[in-house]
Structure 1
């Protein structure tokens, strides 16, 4: 069976998941369609001149460059701007999609699988394409949250246009090569990529109508629900634990099953935990968790020590029963401690008279942080207003309290005890959390107080309420800005760098499978073949104890996946079985029957079911195979009164002509029987004699 994988993008962390194309049985499957929102950092959120002080910081200290006289890099250094606020692009933002996806013919994509809400932000770019006709599958919760995220992105972009006006039609000026050449290398690399070929991935944002049209194309399903595409493959989504509605996909096709492992979390305090049992026992595992890439970008990790630790974890895995390695460490405890430390920093800042800005877009983390923070505020007797500012905050907060089946077991237990699934429900009712759609709404302005704690989008600090509040508070040394560790704070804070006194706390949340758990997980899943990203292979050594083979893949390369099993299973409908007439073979201890029916694909399996005319089966001549034994053939003919003799072989192997054995019939009439490797031919003008010879051949051959 033909299978191949093409990785279009490895992405970067939870906000920019990987994107790849899987070709199975001629069905082309696109897995995830994200947007790289971190690339918005090249745009300035402030359009007036910043008159920023250059601080003698330029790209020479950030990127290694050749400084030999006459070198192209030296000439470029003289032309390019310094990396400061003035170097940012002052234009309406465009959005960076997966560039390699545009190299494919969208009309040839048959299926789109979405693994998380953030993985569907690029869908409207596909669905508005005239040739797009694929079926899109996503879990019910991810579809709802992803739609709200797209609505929020469109609303923030619309607000940007209202403040600064729309860009002129056509290709923007900043895309001219002369302008790109003058950008600092750090910004130019974001625009063009490390290979300088990603300019074609930039697009203007879709409209609200495009979002509505894309949502109409979605086919939603629950965890564990099977859906069949075109009778050939069966698709199953199982929880990944990363976020509410996030999933891993299992693809079942004839004689092969494939599990696609995206970013997953074993222990979650909000979403349903990673159900790794649901992806166990598949033939092929495609490992696409990219959380380790963001870890390596922000930490100095020695590859040899990391590989050693993974090997040690694997030895412990095989000696201790396996699942202790995966579930022994309480990951939810680690998250609680992280959130508790953030609460401590927030309260300290408020007590000092400062305000707190939290532009974190991890929904689960925000819901948990609000719960813990309000409890800590009550215990500390600190009175400070808490605001949630977002166009879709009201809908998201209401939705998360009516979906117990998508939440972890601890949250589900609250349903049976009569408690709200999340603490924000009561806090909003009591007025301890104020939810507003817009930062300039009259109701918010009338009730605004400072110092304040504000949860708002967007984490890239280029759109939404975060820009306005950061502009207001960035000069206050008592105020606090909480940023996710995946954000490049150096570039994100450039517009405010010259007068930035606000304290910045960088927090790291678990966003995937830890490196030391990768091999124990694969050992538990017990696949026959594993596809690992090339960058992960540099960080871990595959043990000889593995029962599976490994193939590495890299971006923009197509890898052929060998079929784990060359055989083919065929299901026979029960009503066909009584019609089988078994015959025993002469040479082997085996029985065989002839079968006639319709061959079809149903639920990813080959199936034979009866044809209409089989209601009154007719006797049909036997089908024979093999070459007859010539001496037995002459004996059989003699018993029928037909005399013949065996002639010498004809043909010449040296000249490449096929050899044949010939039986010459003299009585009762002339005939020839020519026996070759490819078949047996009876030559005679006597029909009765031909029937006798055929009967003799049938006696010495097996038939069905």
Structure 2
């Protein structure tokens, strides 16, 4: 009987523990969203950051976390399109949070799930998300910024047009060139007197909306910082199995104009990627049509603007070919502004879109669809106009792709039990976790992956064509791509939170000196070095990467003195006493040990004609005397024993 009671108690406790776990998991999913910043960001010294380059709209979303940090004063650069689109997305995110607070209230302090008692009850996978692999990342979670933070952040961004020159501190020339990923997304070139650098972010060679990847502008730089981490998620099965070697695709130690053309034709510009994307979009459109034919509705909370714009153009075509009239809704607080903005940024659009501008056609078809009452745009699900216009079945584009905020939450609660309805998600989202608050769920889920970077088999051919001297490559991709031994550049691997030293390409910079100053030089050769030195007085200017010394308006009195004013070297104290003795100055030497780095110090005590002290150290000589005339004599004696200008 006692054994049976123990078994019963164990079963009850296990059941209670399971219920508690489910309750905590439910509260975690439904709690006010917090955001995980890069590991140890809160430990960084923001004052050590000089320059921030934003390459994409998604990169803009995290910027307020950095700009609101105390001590941050770095210069921020982004393209005009990225800045505006990023601002709209940040404002939409803040408004969705405000709506969450309105309906569910705001949490005071840290969320309940961040307490250690509840963290211990989470599943291992979820606990790793919260704490990180080593359990030290809990401090990286932060609440969302406010609208005032967004406004302040955008004010700090210097926006650039396509290939526009921007000089940072008069030394670095910065330009942005299209990466082909999204409208406004870019790669960067940084030219300096000592080294030219190209920064490659996530890029696409073929794009239906954005201007194509302008890799020609990245050629001939000394160093390439390769930061396309999306390659981790776009490997094919063959690449996973074989630990892809770049040398199998392309191998050349002497690139030339001829094999550049071969690279472009056979590897880089193959249209297999665009064909694959078109096939995926066609499949999505067919699934959408099938759902609405069956009487179900469709929710599309995708975050890639380019994919959304293509679906907005293609779905109406599929509906029309099926003789169906189904309303398409775009529900977002910034949807109207965002769609309007895409029609006024031609410099960041592909050539086909630009040609429409010159022919007087709209750049995108959504404006015509709105006029034809096939597409409707509303700010939120509670809009009176939307409630008046609402019809089902329908197709809805709405945020947020995380399924935690925005109109998508209300729509999922409405249609989750309809087996004919469809939810379209992007790959990378944990659907089991994301859909947990909406279970039991009968609606279909279609999860699609879209190319968001350079495929690994194209990496080395691209780098060979760009012809850098050095390449900085992510450590995380070291095992996934094997560079051939015959490549024409050196490869260095960088990792998070580690400083990487890169060899200098130039030890010096050119200095332009005004001719009227150069004619006044009085050179003097150093005794122990094959170096000539002269004194120069002027004003140093650094502008547009050039270092110049120009003459000042006034000649300093110090420059007109004949005797040396600057000295170098360590005086020999015995010789110093001899020289001083001839001047009628008597003294004695005291030797003492100092720290290990500077070695021994020598102190000369002057007794006559008055008291004085001379401290001779490895890096400096200090004269201490009340009598100004005596100090001048000692200074003159030291000057006779050392070099000076």
Q: Sort the TM-score into its range (normalised by shorter chain).
A: 0.7 to 0.9
1:20 aligns with none
Residues in 2 aligned to 1:621 and 1:599: alpha-carbon distance in whole angstroms? 25
Which of the residues 274, 293, 305 maps onto 2:242?
305
Structure 2 unaligned residues grouped into runs of 5+: 1-13, 526-531, 565-644
Superposition pairs of residues 522-541 of structure 1, within 5 angstroms: 522-541=463-482
1:315 aligns with 251
Secondary structure at 1:420 match in 2:
coil
1:254 Cα offset (Å): 2.5
The answer on whether the counterparts of 1:482 and 1:504 sit within 8 Å (CA) in structure 2 is yes
1:410 and 2:357 correspond: no
1:457 and 2:394 correspond: no
2:31 aligns with 91
1:577 Cα offset (Å): 9.1
Superposition pairs of residues 217-256 of structure 1, within 5 angstroms: 217-256=156-195
Secondary structure at 1:467 match in 2:
helix
1:194 aligns with 133
Residues 605/543 of structure 1: CA separation in 2 closer, same or farther (3 Å cut)? farther
Which of the residues 441, 449, 458 maps onto 1:508?
449
Once the two structures are superposed, what CA deviation does each residue of 1:398-439 show, in whole Å capped at 9, x if it has no partner? 010011111111111110111101111111122110000001
Residues in 1 aligned to 2:417 and 2:544: alpha-carbon distance in whole angstroms? 62
Residues 370/592 of structure 1: CA separation in 2 closer, same or farther (3 Å cut)? same
2:608 aligns with none
The number of equivalent residue pairs is 552
Residues 239/78 of structure 1: CA separation in 2 closer, same or farther (3 Å cut)? same
1:213 and 2:152 correspond: yes
1:268 aligns with 207
Residues in 1 aligned to 2:516 and 2:457: alpha-carbon distance in whole angstroms? 52
Which of the residues 445, 451, 463 maps onto 2:387?
445
1:119 aligns with 59
2:6 aligns with none
Which of the residues 539, 543, 546 maps onto 2:484?
543
1:151 aligns with 91
1:399 aligns with 341
Superposition pairs of residues 664-703 of structure 1, within 5 angstroms: none
1:13 aligns with none
Secondary structure at 1:182 match in 2:
coil
RMSD: 3.6
1:597 Cα offset (Å): 4.3
1:163 aligns with 103
Residues 593/91 of structure 1: CA separation in 2 closer, same or farther (3 Å cut)? closer
Secondary structure at 1:560 match in 2:
coil
The answer on whether the counterparts of 2:473 and 2:493 sit within 8 Å (CA) in structure 1 is yes
Structure 1 unaligned residues grouped into runs of 5+: 1-73, 586-590, 623-703
Secondary structure at 1:486 match in 2:
coil
The answer on whether the counterparts of 2:24 and 2:118 sit within 8 Å (CA) in structure 1 is no
Residues in 2 aligned to 1:611 and 1:543: alpha-carbon distance in whole angstroms? 56
Secondary structure at 1:558 match in 2:
coil
Residues in 1 aligned to 2:146 and 2:18: alpha-carbon distance in whole angstroms? 40
Which of the residues 117, 131, 137 maps onto 1:178?
117
Secondary structure at 2:21 match in 1:
coil
Residues in 2 aligned to 1:582 and 1:343: alpha-carbon distance in whole angstroms? 80
Which of the residues 462, 465, 470 maps onto 1:521?
462
Which of the residues 572, 580, 584 maps onto 2:512?
572
Residues in 2 aligned to 1:295 and 1:582: alpha-carbon distance in whole angstroms? 64
Residues in 2 aligned to 1:576 and 1:497: alpha-carbon distance in whole angstroms? 83
Residues in 1 aligned to 2:329 and 2:511: alpha-carbon distance in whole angstroms? 60
1:563 and 2:504 correspond: yes
Residues in 1 aligned to 2:555 and 2:19: alpha-carbon distance in whole angstroms? 81
Superposition pairs of residues 26-65 of structure 1, within 5 angstroms: none
The answer on whether the counterparts of 1:243 and 1:271 sit within 8 Å (CA) in structure 2 is yes
The answer on whether the counterparts of 2:24 and 2:113 sit within 8 Å (CA) in structure 1 is no
1:263 Cα offset (Å): 0.5
1:357 aligns with 299
1:103 Cα offset (Å): 1.3
1:502 Cα offset (Å): 1.3
1:142 and 2:82 correspond: yes
The answer on whether the counterparts of 1:107 and 1:131 sit within 8 Å (CA) in structure 2 is yes
1:599 Cα offset (Å): 3.4
Residues in 2 aligned to 1:473 and 1:269: alpha-carbon distance in whole angstroms? 32
